[in-house]
C-alpha cells in the first residue's frame, strides 16, 4: 500500500518544522517535504506519515534526525567571490591596521558542512603570510548535528571544492591535503583555529564570544521577515565594536527592522557601532 501525505498531516509537519528550526516552508512544497520524509518513514518501517509525526513529536533523538532531513545544506568553498575579495582586499587590511595586537574572531553562523568556515580559515592563513602577527579564531555553528559532524571531519570532495580548485588553484594546492582517494582536508595549521558546535539561531549563542565578522549567509531566506528580525536581534549583540555582518547574495535586510545598516553589497554593520569601519576601502 502506498503511503500518502495528507494535507492535514503536511500542515502539522510545517508547524513542527517551524517550531524546531524557525524555517517556514511554503504550502506548495508538499512533494519536496514528502520526498525528504519518505525514506525515513520506510527506514523506520512505519506505516504512515502520521506515525512518523507522532514519533518526532515524542522522541528528542528522532528530532535530531528530522532536522538533518529537513534542512537544505547546499554550500561550497568561496561561495560568492565578491565577498571573499572584499574580505581580503578591504576588510582584513583595515582590521589589522586598527587592531594590531588582537585576535581576529569570526562566526560562520549557518555553517552547513563547513566550507564557508574553512574558506575563511584559508583566507586568514594566507593573509597571515603578509602579516605574521595576525592571529584568528573561527567558530562555525549549524542547527544540524549531521552537518556539524561533517564540519568536524573536514573532508571535502566533488562539487563543494570544484570551483575553488579551478579558480584559486595556488591556494587550493597550498592548503588542501589529499587524504583519501578524491577527498581533501584543510591543512592542520588552519584546522586548529576552527571549532564547530551545534546551535539554533533562534537561541542565544551559549558562549560569551563577540565577533569581528559574522557570516550569516543563505539561511535568512528560510525565515519569515519577523523571524529574520528575531535572529538578527540575537546576532547583533555578538558583533564586536565595528564588527561586520555578511548575508547571502539573494538576501536583503531592506524591508525588515534591524540594528544593521549596509556598508557594501551584502555587508552590514551595526547602527550602534562607531563609524570607522563604514569607511573601509
Ligand X SMILES: C[S@@+](CC[C@H](N)C(=O)[O-])C[C@H]1O[C@@H](n2cnc3c(N)ncnc32)[C@H](O)[C@@H]1O
Question: How far apart (Å, rounded) are the C-alpha atoms in residues 120 and 263?
Answer: 20
- The single residue among 17, 176, 219, 247 that binds ligand X, judged by CB under 6 A, is 219
What's the closest the beta carbon of residue 251 comes to ligand X, in angstroms? 10
Pick the binder of ligand X from 65, 137, 144, 258 (CB under 6 A).
144
Q: Kindly indicate which of the ranges 21-29, 96-104, 182-190, 254-262 contains the residues binding ligand X, using the contact rule CB under 6 A.
A: 21-29
Q: How far is the CB of 67 from ligand X (least distance, A)?
A: 7
* Min separation Cβ 46 and ligand X, Å: 24
Q: Answer positive or negative: Cα dihedral of 22, 196, 85, 102.
A: positive
Q: Tell me the C-alpha distance between 20 and 94, whole Å.
A: 39
By CB under 6 A, residue 247 contacts ligand X: no
Binders of ligand X among residues 177 to 206 (CB under 6 A) are 200-202
**Could you write out the DSSP letters of every residue in 34-86?**
HHHHHHHHHHTT-S-HHHHHHHHHH-HHHHHHHHHHHS-----TT-SHHHHHH
Of the ranges 15-23, 97-105, 153-161, 183-191, which one interacts with ligand X (CB under 6 A)?
15-23
Nearer to ligand X, 241 or 251 (CB): 251
Candidate ranges 123-131, 153-161, 167-175, 217-225; the one touching ligand X (CB under 6 A): 217-225
248 interacts with ligand X by CB under 6 A: yes
CB of 109 to ligand X, least distance (A): 7
Q: Which of residues 61-80 bind ligand X (CB under 6 A)?
A: 71-75, 79
Asked if 53 is part of the footprint of ligand X (rule: CB under 6 A), the reply reads no
If one asks whether residue 23 binds ligand X (CB under 6 A), the answer comes out as yes
Confirm or reject binding of residue 212 to ligand X (CB under 6 A): no
For binding to ligand X (CB under 6 A), which residues are involved?
Answer: 21-23, 71-75, 79, 110, 112, 116, 142-144, 147, 200-202, 217-219, 222, 248
Amino acid at each position: 500500500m502506498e503511503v500518502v501525505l495528507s494535507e492535514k498531516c503536511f500542515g502539522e509537519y510545517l508547524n513542527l518544522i517551524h517550531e524546531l528550526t524557525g524555517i517556514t516552508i511554503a504550502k506548495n512544497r508538499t512533494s519536496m517535504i514528502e520526498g525528504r520524509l519518505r525514506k525515513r518513514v520506510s527506514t523506520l518501517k512505519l506505516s504512515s506519515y502520521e506515525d512518523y509525526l507522532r514519533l518526532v513529536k515524542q522522541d528528542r533523538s528522532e528530532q535530531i534526525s528530522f532536522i538533518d532531513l529537513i534542512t537544505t545544506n547546499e554550500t561550497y568553498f568561496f561561495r560568492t567571490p565578491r565577498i571573499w575579495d572584499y574580505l581580503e582586499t578591504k576588510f582584513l587590511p583595515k582590521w589589522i591596521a586598527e587592531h594590531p595586537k588582537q585576535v581576529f574572531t569570526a562566526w560562520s553562523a549557518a555553517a552547513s558542512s563547513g566550507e564557508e568556515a574553512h574558506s575563511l580559515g584559508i583566507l586568514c592563513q594566507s593573509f597571515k603570510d603578509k602579516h605574521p602577527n595576525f592571529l584568528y579564531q573561527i567558530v562555525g555553528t549549524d542547527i544540524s548535528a549531521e552537518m556539524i559532524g561533517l564540519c568536524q571531519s573536514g573532508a571535502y570532495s566533488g562539487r563543494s571544492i570544484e570551483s575553488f580548485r579551478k579558480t584559486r588553484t595556488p591556494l587550493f594546492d597550498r592548503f588542501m591535503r589529499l587524504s583519501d582517494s578524491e577527498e581533501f582536508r584543510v591543512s592542520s595549521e588552519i584546522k586548529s583555529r576552527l571549532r564547530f558546535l551545534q546551535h539554533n539561531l533562534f537561541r542565544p549563542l551559549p558562549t560569551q564570544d563577540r565577533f569581528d565578522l559574522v557570516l550569516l549567509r543563505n539561511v535568512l531566506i528560510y525565515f519569515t521577515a519577523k523571524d529574520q528580525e528575531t535572529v538578527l536581534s540575537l546576532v547583533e549583540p555578538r558583533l564586536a565594536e565595528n564588527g561586520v555582518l555578511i548575508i547571502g547574495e539573494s538576501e536583503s535586510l531592506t524591508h525588515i527592522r534591524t540594528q544593521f545598516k549596509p556598508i557594501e553589497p551584502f555587508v552590514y554593520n551595526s547602527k550602534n557601532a562607531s563609524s570607522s569601519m563604514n569607511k573601509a576601502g
